[in-house]
Amino acid sequence: MAFKVLSVFRNRHFHSLLGNVIMAFFNVLSFALLVRLLSLDAFGEWVLFLATYNILDQVRTALLQSGIIKFSSGVDETTSRQVTGAAWYISIILTVTYILLSFAVYFIAYNHFSETWHFFIGWLGILTLLSLPFNFASWVLQAAHRFDKIVQIRFMQNGSFLVFLGVLFLLKQINLHNVLYAYALSFLVTSLYCMAFRWTQLSTIAVKTKTHALQLYRFGRLIVGSMASNALLNYSDNLVLRTMLSPAAVAIYSIPQKFMEVIEIILRSFVATSQPTLSSAANQHDWAGVSRAFCRYTGTVTIIIMPFVIGLLLFTKPLIYILADEAYLPATDIVRIFLLSAILYPIDRFIGVTLDMINRPLINFYKNLLKLILNIALDILLVLLFKDIRSVAIASSLNLLFAVVFGYYFLRQSLPISIREIWQYGWLECRQIITRLRSGRLQYK
């Protein structure tokens, strides 16, 4: 019986889920600490800074992560090393560009930023450099299905940041400057950890080829547009709130985003394990297999998140008290709007992943670009009309619905899928997961 139980915890899907749980757990703890120790305005500025850094990081991830998985999985070792080396070459060039741009913006646009952002801007490029080794290690390990090691990376980065915040709290030195120093130090520690275990495969840069570099760039550039457009959704929300309302509105709007971490934990875990499966079937031109995988993953995740959505809806106010304090209760309605729209998250995400894996990233790019344009237009219009934070949440829900309809229409042009099959495969897979859990043989392919 003990061996059966252990087998449940030795599969890639569980490790992917565990990595996201660890990341979310430590993020929530650090969030809860900062939300209590920083003022509403200061915390709003920190949220906007993180959103700015995340856009830069996600552009780099979009350009390389999917390409590494697609072109280094299921090939001979020499080709895999050449692809990895080419990815290192591109990532170093991009990161140096970030550093130069951050300092250029600092000096050129100095008079247009507040004192807080004078400090923040100079650190944007530095953070992308400090995070590069451990991010790159995560991409390579994902391609190799080594999610157990990715768990260690996420534990190290998020856990060390929380420890550093705890030290600052004990020393009574919590301020925006020191919080950023702690964040940067957690990146440095994690990157050194990955380099010590040689998970970064930095030596492969010596065998890079121009052919593979161009292959990665051509494949990744459209995914960059898609992911950047998607990342700019939350950023545009925060920017509209800060400029049209106040930094405090940004802080309040960050609460529902933390609630959605519960949904994102599950969603990111399945997305990470679905990419190699979808890519493998697509590379073999097994379109029926791609369709089954899409329906299975989409239906399964949609069903799994339902109890979490209902539970969070029932206990929204108590959870806001636990996560933050009474000053953040205006976020209650926003949280509920987000939760009600969460039922569409799985189909939207898996439509995007599947379009990328079947070599139709341009459609996914258009989907996310139109989604972004609609989001910004609705944000501005509704805030002008109602002067209310809830307007931004409603705008986000409407553009999510649009993206699902748009993406589903075009995905059906390439794959034989249907809403009915999504539910059928989802219910079937959920029953099989329960059976496997009971027998201690959980495997998710």
| pLDDT (tens digit per residue) in 290-315 | 899 899 999 999 998 999 899 989 98
Whether 318 has a pLDDT exceeding 80, the answer reads yes
- pLDDT at res. 206: 87
Whether 319 has a pLDDT exceeding 80, the answer reads yes
H helix or E strand, kind and range, residue 179: helix 176-196
Encoded tokens for 275 = 């990419």
**Identity of the highest mean pLDDT range in 54-63, 241-250, 405-414:** 405-414
Taking only the tens place, the pLDDT of each residue in 334-357 is: 989 999 999 999 999 999 889 888
* Nearest of 72, 202, 82, 83 to residue 137 by alpha carbon: 202
Encoded tokens for 380 = 């501005």
Taking only the tens place, the pLDDT of each residue in 373-405 is: 998 999 999 989 888 889 889 998 998 999 999
418 CB contacts (<8 Å, ≥6 apart)?
none
Read off the amino acid at residue 210: K
For range 8-27, the mean pLDDT = 63
Residue with the two structure tokens 């979808």: 278
Are 263 and 305 in contact by the 8 Å Cβ rule? The answer is: yes
* Nearest of 182, 178, 140, 142 to residue 158 by alpha carbon: 182
Whether 6 has a pLDDT exceeding 60, the answer reads no
pTM of the full structure: 0.68
More confident residue, 211 or 23: 211
- pLDDT at res. 16: 61
Domain boundaries, the chain: 2-439
- pLDDT at res. 4: 44
CA distances from 33 to 262, 323, 368 (A): 18, 9, 33
- Rounded to 5°, the CA angle 371-332-227 comes to 25
Share of the chain above pLDDT 70, in %: 91
Whether 441 has a pLDDT exceeding 70, the answer reads no
Encoded tokens for 70 = 């697609």
* Nearest of 362, 361, 354 to residue 291 by alpha carbon: 354
pLDDT band at residue 188 using 50, 70 and 90 as cut-offs? very high
pLDDT band at residue 12 using 50, 70 and 90 as cut-offs? low
